[in-house]
Amino acid sequence: LAKTTQPISMDSYEGQEVNITCSHNNIATNDYITWYQQFPSQGPRFIIQGYKTKVTNEVASLFIPADRKSSTLSLPRVSLSDTAVYYCLVGDGNTDKLIFGTGTRLQVFP
């Protein structure tokens, strides 16, 4: 299965914008890109989903370049409560299986 990679960790301060990138160079042609947030001892929680270009909702934006080989989750003005692990989820182009990324641990400091 193709690997879906993310930076292991990121640090930020409250009020800053955070951008987390996921590399998925073998994404399935017709598949969406979905991002989840996970707190300790909880299951992942949906943040945002997109297919191409840019998607924005009340908590985040998702940027997807034309080749769709990567995506960037943007969290505007993070707070302490945004400290969590963030995962991207895509379908593999060869097997069409759902693959979670390696996860990025975001630590927000006051």
Residues of this chain that bind another protein (CB under 8 A): 31-32, 34, 36, 41-46, 49, 87, 95, 97-103
Contacts of 110 (CB under 8 A, 6+ apart): 13, 14, 80
Cβ 92 to another protein shortest distance, Å: 11
Buried b (16+ CB within 10 A) or exposed e, 21-54: bbbbebbbeebebbbbbbeeeeebeebbebeeee
Measured from the CB atom, is 14 or 96 closer to another protein? 96
Measured from the CB atom, is 32 or 63 closer to another protein? 32
Measured from the CB atom, is 36 or 75 closer to another protein? 36
Cβ 17 to another protein shortest distance, Å: 24
Task: Tell me the β-bridge partners of 27.
Answer: 92
